[in-house]
């Protein structure tokens, strides 16, 4: 990515999709060029959490909500150390922000972090195009780059790597372990494998008396058990789960020891692979904070926060036998019947495809952290009785 400081006047920009369709608008954020996979997010709020979600690494995010930036940027809501989106596409950016927590404008933040964006785009037409044709590579070009020959710009887009086959978790994960202490009395210790973890996730566990040891994506089984965990957590993250052989092997080691295990998003896909299921790329994925999911164990429907372009290929209509015992699909998306959760029946392990930390998003899925806590407590009590 290359970028220059934005100027006072609005400069032209163009979005070029790999199938040749283009959208012209105005530069928003840093000037220059950027390429990545174009995807859309249906959240009406929470743009700051979206921008700083590591799962969006190497993606150009199209916001379907038309008005973006009205609450500015604060220093409390980032979900990681930086903005991870490769580019940002909006229709009507706010002319000025207005919120008591705001410290600066969204455009100033995008510029400061070198994020190339485009505004004035018909995001409804763009979203319909991506729904019909599927997520695809794209590029944003602004300033002098926007005036280049469209055939040359298209060639740059088509030369960019695809998301299928991309091993991205090690690029966004922490390089050094760190600890998030329990809030109040410590009840449990959890080893959290960082595949692109959001800051609110260990905080939600800490609120339940869990001391969370966040480990790099490259952590070994010895690293995990060096913290004497009562449970192991596998986080969300970017990229193609078919490339995550190390994480799959690590999870199998945890399953073999029957340690309570909880995975979300990328962690759900890793559990699927560890159990022997395949994964596949969705046409345009689930991204936003308004995705309806049914918990098949309770029959309840919850509105959930999502950010994934891949899914687990597991049967919805039956219990499956795996090397680690029986497993069933525990949650399903009501929009398209995509697997949204797995539950082992013979070992203490489960996962969901979405983001129960709700940053941003509804709190319907907060019970999953309580379910993890209960699972650890049950295993602990059984061990004491034994």
- State the binding site for L-glutamine: 55, 237, 239, 266, 269, 307, 309-310
Closest alpha carbon to 267 in 308, 307, 237: 237
Distance CA 151, CA 159 (A): 12
SS3 151: helix
Give the residues across from 35 on adjacent strands: 139
Q: DSSP letter at 384?
A: H
265 part of the active site: yes
Residues at the annotated binding site? 55, 237, 239, 266, 269, 307, 309-310
Residue 30 in contact with residue 120, Cβ under 8 Å? no
2 alpha carbon, distance to own chain's centre? 25
Give the residues across from 116 on adjacent strands: 29, 87
User: Could you please report the per-residue DSSP string of 34-89?
Assistant: EEEEEEEE--SS-HHHHHT-GGGBTEEEEE-SSEE-TT-B-SS--SSSS--BSEEE
Q: Is residue 113 classed exposed, middle or buried when 0-12, 13-18 and 19+ CB atoms within 10 A define those classes? A: middle
Residue 153 to residues 15, 119, 120, 144, 236, Cα–Cα distance (Å)? 9, 19, 20, 12, 32
Residues in the chain: 386
Q: At what angle do helices 266-274 and 245-257 cross, to 10 degrees?
A: 70
Other CB atoms within a 10 A radius of the CB of residue 327 amount to 25
Distance CA 366, CA 355 (A): 9
Distance CA 263, CA 234 (A): 5
Which of 33, 211, 340, 357 is catalytic? The answer is: 357
203 part of the active site: no
Give the residues across from 327 on adjacent strands: 320, 344
Which of 265, 286, 308, 333 is catalytic? The answer is: 265
Helix (H) or strand (E) holding 125: helix 123-133
Q: DSSP letter at 181?
A: P
357 part of the active site: yes
Q: Which residues are catalytic?
A: 265, 355, 357
């Amino acid at each position: 990515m290359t970028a220059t400081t934005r100027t006072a006047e609005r400069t032209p920009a163009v979005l070029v999709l790999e199938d040749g369709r283009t959208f012209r608008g105005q530069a928003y954020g840093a000037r220059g060029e950027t390429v990545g996979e174009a995807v859309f997010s249906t959240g009406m709020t929470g743009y700051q959490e979206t921008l700083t979600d590591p799962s969006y690494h190497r993606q150009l995010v199209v916001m379907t909500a038309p008005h973006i930036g009205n609450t500015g940027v604060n220093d409390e809501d980032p979900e990681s150390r930086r903005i991870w989106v490769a580019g940002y596409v909006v229709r009507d950016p706010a002319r000025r922000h207005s919120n008591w927590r705001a410290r600066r404008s969204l455009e100033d933040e995008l510029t400061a972090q070198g994020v190339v964006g485009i505004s004035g785009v018909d995001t409804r037409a763009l979203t319909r195009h991506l729904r019909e044709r599927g997520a695809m590579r794209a590029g944003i070009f602004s300033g002098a780059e926007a005036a280049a020959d469209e055939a040359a710009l298209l060639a740059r887009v088509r030369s960019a790597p695809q998301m299928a086959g991309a091993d991205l978790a090690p690029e966004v994960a922490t390089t050094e372990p760190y600890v998030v202490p329990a809030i109040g009395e410590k009840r449990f210790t959890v080893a959290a494998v960082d595949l692109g973890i959001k800051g609110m996730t260990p905080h939600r566990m800490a609120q339940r008396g869990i001391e969370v040891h966040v480990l790099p994506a490259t952590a070994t089984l010895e690293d995990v058990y060096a913290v004497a965990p009562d449970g192991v957590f596998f986080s969300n993250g970017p990229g193609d789960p078919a490339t995550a052989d190390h994480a799959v092997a690590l999870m199998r080691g945890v399953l073999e020891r029957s340690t309570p295990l909880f995975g979300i998003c990328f962690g759900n896909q890793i559990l699927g692979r560890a159990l022997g299921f395949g994964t596949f790329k969705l046409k345009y994925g689930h991204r936003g904070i308004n995705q309806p999911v049914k918990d098949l164990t309770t029959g309840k429907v919850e509105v959930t926060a999502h950010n994934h372009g891949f899914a687990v290929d597991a049967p919805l209509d039956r219990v499956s036998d795996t090397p680690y015992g029986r497993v069933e699909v525990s949650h399903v998306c009501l929009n398209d019947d995509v697997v949204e959760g797995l539950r082992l029946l013979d070992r203490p392990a489960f996962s969901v495809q979405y983001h129960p930390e709700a940053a941003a998003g509804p709190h319907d899925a907060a019970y999953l952290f309580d379910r993890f806590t209960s699972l650890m407590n049950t295993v602990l009590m059984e061990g004491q009785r034994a």
